[in-house]
Structures are given as structure tokens and as C-alpha cells.
């Protein structure tokens, strides 16, 4: 198919995520760990603008370190565009502009959000007209977190985190995010978890290859009660992330002593997510962190997944 687009540009916005629950099981033969997680999309967004072009190119703005994101086929958004083109038999290209707000290698799925946004933007630009199910299939081939960035809201992820089921979440949850200048490599954190588990003899047998999200986590989301959710926040990767970056534990303690209901490392870190009772509580925590020299962001969730803005 070769569709000459009459559209000038498509602007898509996709959210970053927090894992409010992240259980990690054993490692499958393909190297991926079994996961049971609950994602929540939060109001920190990546903007991707797709413009017609005869070949594929990418620009990225909003980076502290311009070398932190590749501009070639290693870029998840580029891979998403090429995957969609191949699936749709489209023989043109696209010029992608990415405006980043989600910290790079921050454990908030920024690259996955870019990939989801690129799929939606190119689908509209090229007039591909793929169904949500088809886009979801392509998303899952790009990475475990990409289907969720398409989907948004609050969802349970099992398998490698890519088998998604929506979770009912009432109301709004306020989060204060403490980001780090330096990112953490996701594979490194998983490796550290394996080492720690081995050292501690964490499992009598091999860790399980199939996991579930505990019912109280889902109940807390359904109730919309931040205090209840605070009691259920959990991340199996946290000990590993803190082992690499002990200061993350101090940030969580500082957040809680400043009024946050609870804190957690987001995904593989190093972003720390502090759950607060309400917007005023979040502002109070931000002020206390600022007094200690820590900058932070106030976001809320759940918010929708990748959406066309214009």
C-alpha cells in the first residue's frame, strides 16, 4: 500500500506510568521475568508529532543529556513506525518529533510511551486504519510496557507485563515524583534482584513462573481510597534498585516523614513515587522536599493512554 497522506502533521500525547504493584517471579527461557503488575498512567506526558516524509527520521527535545536517547533504529518510536509500515505494507516514511517530559531510564516507561504514541500517530498520518486490537499486537512486539502506554488508565499486566486487563480505579490519586538526573538500567536492576535472591535463598524452589496481583491491591484501587492503596503499594524490584542507589530509600523516608502516605520506587527506578492524600498534601510534601534541596513533580492518575491531540 502506498497512501500519500493529505494530513500535515499528527500530534499524539502518551502518558508515563507508575507500577503501584510489581511482583517479579522467575526468569523464563527467553530471559524475561514473569511479572504480575498494576500500572497506573499518570499526568506526565510524552508528545510525539508525526509529519509526512519519504524516509524515517527522528528528533528529540527536552533531554538533559542529548546522548541519552538514540536517534536510530534503537529508538523505540522509530522501531514502532517501521513495524507499523511493514505491517501495513506502507512504503513511505515519517519524520517523528519527540518532546520528552518523562525522565529517560526513570522506570516510568518513557520510551514505551514514545513507541505507543508513534504507532497511533503513524496510523493516523498514513491512514492505515488499524484496529485497537491490531495496534495492541504490534505494541506487544515492541516491548512489555508498550501495550499499557496505548491503553492508559489503570491495568493489570501479567505474563511479561504485556497481557493486559483493565482494573477498576475510582477517583484520582495524587503522586509526588522525585526524579534523578542519572537513569537506572532496567536489565541491571533485574540482574541485581536475581543476585540478591540467590544470596538470601529467597525461594526454597525456583521462583514461580506465573503470578497474580493480590486482591487487596485491586480492592484499594476500586475504593479510590488513597490511604488504603498506600497500604498495598509494593515493588519486588525496590530492594534491588535501593541496593544500587541507597539514596532512594532516604528519599522515600523523607517523603513519608513530610506527609506522604507511602512511597515506592517506580518500576526499575530510580524515580520515587510518593502517594499523597490529596493535591494539598502533595503540595506540602513538595515544599518539604524543596527545603531539603529536592525538586519534584506533582502528577495525578489515572489518565488515558496514547491520544491524538491534533
- Residues in contact with ligand ATP by CB under 6 A are 69-70, 74-77, 104-112, 114, 145, 183, 186, 267-268
Q: Rank residues 49 and 261 by Cβ distance to ligand ATP and give the closer one.
A: 49
The tally of CA atoms less than 13 A away on the side-chain side of residue 302 is 24
Q: Rank residues 222 and 307 by Cβ distance to ligand ATP and give the closer one.
A: 307
Is 108 annotated in a binding site? The answer is yes
Q: Rank residues 47 and 114 by Cβ distance to ligand ATP and give the closer one.
A: 114
Contact 187, 306 (CB under 8 A): no
Q: Which of 30, 23, 20 is nearest to 202 (CA)?
A: 23
Q: State whether the Cα torsion 29-266-193-217 is positive or negative.
A: negative
Q: How far is the CB of 7 from ligand ATP (least distance, A)?
A: 22
Active-site residue flag, 17: yes
SS3 content of the chain, % helix, strand, coil (to 5): 35, 30, 35
* Closest residue to ligand ATP: CB criterion: 111
Q: How far is the CB of 85 from ligand ATP (least distance, A)?
A: 17
- CA distance readout (Å), 139 to 18, 24, 112, 149: 19, 22, 9, 9
* Nearest-angstrom CA–CA distance, 28 and 266: 23
Active-site residue flag, 82: no
Q: How far is the CB of 131 from ligand ATP (least distance, A)?
A: 24
Q: Check residue 304 and report its DSSP letter.
A: B
Q: Rank residues 111 and 147 by Cβ distance to ligand ATP and give the closer one.
A: 111
- The residue from 114, 145, 174, 236 that is catalytic is 145
Is 1 annotated in a binding site? The answer is no
Q: How far is the CB of 264 from ligand ATP (least distance, A)?
A: 14
Residues recognised as catalytic: 17, 145
Annotated binding site for ATP: 103-113
Amino acid at each position: 500500500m502506498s497512501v500519500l497522506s493529505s494530513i500535515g502533521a499528527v500530534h499524539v500525547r502518551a502518558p508515563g506510568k507508575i507500577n503501584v504493584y510489581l511482583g517479579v517471579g522467575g526468569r523464563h527461557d527467553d530471559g524475561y521475568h514473569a511479572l504480575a503488575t498494576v500500572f497506573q498512567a499518570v499526568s506526565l506526558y510524552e508528545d510525539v508529532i508525526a509529519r509526512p516524509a519519504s524516509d524515517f527520521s527522528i528528533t528529540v527535545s527536552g533531554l538533559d543529556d542529548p546522548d541519552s536517547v538514540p536517534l536510530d533504529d534503537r529508538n523505540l518510536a522509530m522501531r514502532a513506525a517501521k513495524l507499523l509500515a511493514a505491517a501495513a505494507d506502507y512504503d513511505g516514511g515519517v519524520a517523528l518529533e519527540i518532546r520528552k517530559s518523562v525522565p529517560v531510564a526513570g522506570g516510568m516507561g518513557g520510551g514505551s510511551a514514545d513507541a505507543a504514541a508513534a504507532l497511533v500517530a503513524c496510523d493516523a498520518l498514513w491512514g492505515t486504519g488499524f484496529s485497537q486490537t491490531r495496534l495492541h499486537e504490534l505494541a506487544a512486539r515492541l516491548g512489555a510496557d508498550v501495550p499499557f502506554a496505548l491503553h492508559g488508565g489503570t491495568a493489570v499486566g501479567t505474563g511479561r507485563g504485556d497481557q493486559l486487563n483493565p482494573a477498576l480505579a475510582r477517583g484520582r490519586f495524587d503522586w509526588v515524583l522525585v526524579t534523578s538526573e542519572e537513569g537506572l538500567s532496567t536489565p541491571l536492576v533485574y540482574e541485581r534482584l536475581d543476585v540478591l535472591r540467590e544470596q538470601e535463598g529467597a525461594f526454597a524452589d525456583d521462583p514461580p513462573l506465573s503470578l497474580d496481583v493480590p486482591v487487596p491491591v485491586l480492592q484499594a484501587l476500586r475504593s479510590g481510597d488513597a490511604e488504603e492503596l498506600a497500604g498495598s503499594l509494593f515493588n519486588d524490584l525496590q530492594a534491588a534498585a535501593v541496593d544500587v542507589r541507597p539514596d532512594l530509600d532516604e528519599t522515600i523516608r523523607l517523603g513519608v516523614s513530610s506527609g506522604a502516605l507511602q512511597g515506592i520506587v517506580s518500576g526499575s527506578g530510580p524515580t520515587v513515587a510518593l502517594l499523597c492524600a490529596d493535591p494539598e498534601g502533595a503540595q506540602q510534601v513538595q515544599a518539604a522536599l524543596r527545603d531539603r534541596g529536592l525538586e519534584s513533580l506533582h502528577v495525578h492518575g489515572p489518565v488515558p493512554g496514547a491520544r491524538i491531540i491534533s
